[in-house]
Structure 1
Amino acid sequence: MAQNPRTSETDSTPTTGRNTKFTRRNYVRSLAAVATATTALGGAGSVSAQDDYEVIEAQGQTITIDAGETWENKLVDMTTGQDIVITAHSSDWTIRNIGFKGENTSATGTATFGISDTAGGTCTVENVYLGDGSSTGNSNPNGHGQTAFWVAPDHSGHIDITNVNIQNFADNAIYGSAPGTNGGGTIHIDSSFAANCYVSHFRLATEGSKVTNSSVYVDGSDGYVGRGIWGWAPGTIEVEDCQIEMNGQNSAIVAGANGKPTELVVKNSDYDEKAGIAEHAGSNVQLGEKVGTNPEAFIPEGVPRSPKRAASGSNDN
């Protein structure tokens, strides 16, 4: 199921060794713009011999990844103005080296990636660039915005998400709370970066799920001021070695939703004190060792900063 379901969960947003430091969103976007401007895209399905990736034009299609399959080295051209959906609802699949060029302006309200491991296996998402974002937020009365990654409720295995770059999405960056209502599968987000998305950036629910070595950055310039890290029931969710820089927007860490409590354990991380911590329905955020309130968001080593670098699998950031 690629469509991002929202009828059963409350998505309203309140109004209220590091590597490259991230101090201005425009700095990262300018890097991407320079790299993207020099990327020559061929027709749909063409392959660059030099860079060894396939170019796919978004035409409203759905691409399905089957059990045990690896889908890698693709540059998806979103400048067509149309949508594309990649679904992987099987087991032991891999998504690797994928870059999206251009903003998703389709306003279809889907999830770009709809994923789950439905057979108790282990799946991998690594080296994905979704930094050009999407248009149309949830505040738009005509519909929902795009979600970058949505994990289906019947996810029962484990997914490792590593080295992803998600910016300016009009809905959640990684919407991984749904398995808490059914399958109970786990998700580990590691060495990843999310910025200026709506609703939330990293959203998890199941015991054993965690966010490590990652950053969230919000400056509010585009109105997408989603929560930093959002924990849903049943938990417990772990947060370690993370920087959550919100510039006073929304809440940095949120626990609980829909009247159900959960628990987050935070270690060796910094969060924006002005944005603060929100605990709902009897939830608890435990602040462990070396937790501070002076965050400096950064782009972890290995996270791609342009579509071309992601598609080619280049680690030269």
Structure 2
Amino acid sequence: MTVERELSETENSDKVSLKAESALTATKQKLGRRSFCRALGAASASAFVASGSAVGETSGISSSDDDQYDKVVNIVEDYDADPTGNESVNDAFEEAVGKNTKVVFPEGVYLFDRLSRFYEAENTAVVGEGDVTFTVPDGYDYYILSLRGTGVHFENVTIDYTAPETDASVAFQSDDDFLVKDVHFKGVRDADGGSNFCLLAAVTSPEGEGVIESVQCPDGAKDRVRKGGMWLYRSHSGALTINRCSFEGFSDNGIYASGPGGRGNGPVRVENCFFRNNNVSNIRLGTPGSYAENCTIIVDGDGATLLPWSGEYGNSRAVWLWHDFDGHVANCDILLNHPSGNGILYRPETSVAGDVSNTRIEINADGRHAIWARSDGEDLRFENIHVSGTASNDSVVNLTDRNATFENCCIEQTGESRDGFDLNGSAVRVYNTNLSVTGENFDTDADSSYETKRLSENGGCALPELDQSEESST
């Protein structure tokens, strides 16, 4: 079996990363974050995630240097594993893996034809050196690796399941010192059944830490097949940072991290990540201390990839907040160009909290909300939120049984019959804000109220626009 991996499809090369970082930094400086978001719609996710911060900037967890381990083995030289993709390497891997051991896969293609488990991991690393691909037989649709213990590291591997009706997944649970880095999932997930998510993970000790960095899942899933990007086990109780990752075109969430809510309750920190057209939600959080920062979410083209039971469009929420979430969403860009798109939603019938700041949302799909909260709970706060676009009908903000403050915001929607705030049993305070809509500024029921101070109702939001020449040059 021959598998080729193009340099342009991964940020593992320093050359690619540095070039992309320089180009995108210049673009952001020229356009501002909102126009940058629109420009990025035509750019690669790998370029975006390459501009994020390094692992060392977010955690004390470092890559797997040889001197960290009692034993460093080369799976080809020491265990006669086949690097051509023709013969299974499961037996060799299971013999090589162990405690205080780094298993090195040199450049090549490695065939996994079944699940290999190691549940006694202790300072255990699986690391590719050079251009390393794990692949599976045609028609395979299950996990290939599952590691549990402490000090679990998995680095620098492409997982290739490009054959029709073929999937492959990896699963890791680590008490502490958990690292997944530079992993590329290659292929559309189209097997009806088997493993739902590319990557499953958890930090299983409340005192533990983990980092998932530079994981790319650009190919998504086939329409009407239930598949997601990343799942966090309900046992997740430590702190996990997800940094410089990308998830595109999944039918069952991009990052599904609400499961630990009310259970393990470990915080999940999503930083510098890129999402496009993930159904149900792009970022789904539900634990105390969690947040999304410096992320870009786009719903465009044909819209969200559909679940088997989805309607015509599906529902691609940019951020969906659940359970005991009490963190924040900050410095994010959201572009909704398709009717399946939605903004930041608070799960009904929960007391989910969480403030939003310094975030830009462009809505050109009719009837979609920027903010939608439908549950009783502590007051919400939105500061320096910019909403623009041509959407018509319904409202920019929908609040039911929830009070909120909007301060230093700018809301402009030019489509017909577009209201600013739809309030049902809610009180809202709007201060120092430019509100320019074609419908009612405030549509209230008898149990709602609003207070305004220094409200401007005329003129557009002072945000840069992206013209055609800028878009084509990005």
| TM-score normalised per structure 2 | 0.51
- Aligned residues of 2:85 and 2:135 also touching (Cα < 8 A): yes
Instruction: Please point out which of 128, 151, 154 is paired with 2:235.
Output: 154
Deviation (angstroms), 1:152: 1.3
Q: CA deviation at 1:135?
A: 1.2
1:251 is the counterpart of 2:333: no
For residues 135-174 of structure 1, the aligned pairs below 5 Å read: 135-137=222-224, 145-174=226-255
Identity among equivalent positions (%) equals 22
Which amino acid in structure 2 is aligned with residue 53 of structure 1? D
Residue 220 of structure 1: CA displacement?
A: 5.1
CA distance 1:107–1:22, shift in 2 (3 Å): farther
Partner of 1:125: 212
Partners of 1:78 and 1:22 in 2: CA distance: 31
Is 2:139 aligned against 1:68? no
Q: Deviations over 1:192-222 (max 9, x none)?
A: 0010011000010112100001111001514
Q: Which has the higher helix share?
A: 2
The aligned residue for residue 54 of structure 1 is 132
Name stretches of at least 5 consecutive residues in structure 2 with no aligned partner.
Answer: 1-24, 30-35, 48-82, 90-104, 109-127, 306-314, 390-462, 464-474
Structure 2 counterpart of 1:113, from 189, 199, 203: 199
Distance 1:51 1:114, change over 3 A: closer
1:279 to 373, 379, 387: 373
Paired with 1:100 and 1:248, the residues of 2 have a C-alpha distance of 26
2:171 — aligned with what? Answer: 87
Cα pair distance change 1:272/1:22, threshold 3 Å: closer
SS state of the match for residue 251, structure 1? strand
Question: CA 1:173/1:284 → structure 2, altered by over 3 Å: closer, same or farther?
Answer: farther
TM superposition shift of 1:86: 1.1
User: Do 1:246 and 1:275's aligned partners in 2 also have CA atoms closer than 8 Å?
Assistant: no
2: CA distance between counterparts of 1:203 and 1:263? 14
Q: Which residue of 266, 271, 281 maps to 1:200?
A: 281
In 2, distance between residues paired with 1:168 and 1:28?
A: 14
Distance 1:30 1:129 in 2: 7
CA contact (8 A) 2:294 2:331 kept: yes
Mapped partners of 1:278, 1:26: distance in 2: 28
Is this contact kept in 1: 2:220–2:250, CA < 8 A? yes
In structure 2, C-alpha distance between the alignment counterparts of 1:152 and 1:111, rounded to whole Å: 11
Between 158-167 and 212-221, report the one with greater CA deviation.
212-221
Q: In structure 1, what is the Cα distance between the partners aligned to 2:196 and 2:155?
A: 21
Shift of the alpha carbon at 1:167? Answer: 0.5
Q: Is the 8 A contact 1:191 1:212 kept in 2?
A: yes
| Cα distance between partner residues in 2 of 1:42 and 1:289 | 55
> Over aligned residue pairs, what C-alpha RMSD do you find?
3.0
Work out the CA distance in 1 between the residues paired with 2:332 and 2:40.
18
Please report the TM-score for the alignment, with normalisation by the length of structure 1.
0.75
Q: Assess if the C-alpha contact under 8 Å between 1:76 and 1:101 holds in 2.
A: yes
Counterpart for residue 306 of structure 1: none
| Residues 214 and 27 of structure 1: CA distance in aligned 2, closer, same or farther (over 3 Å) | closer
Looking at structure 1, the residues matched to 357 and 161 of structure 2 have their Cα atoms a distance apart, in angstroms, of 38
In the alignment, the residues of structure 2 paired with residue 87 and residue 226 of structure 1 have an alpha-carbon distance, to the nearest angstrom, of: 25
TM-superposed deviation, 1:223 = 3.9
Rg larger in structure: 2
- Structure 2 partner of 1:134: 221
Match of 2:326, as an amino acid? T
Unaligned runs of 5+ in 1: 1-16, 32-40, 138-143, 297-317
Q: 1:154 aligns to what SS in structure 2?
A: coil
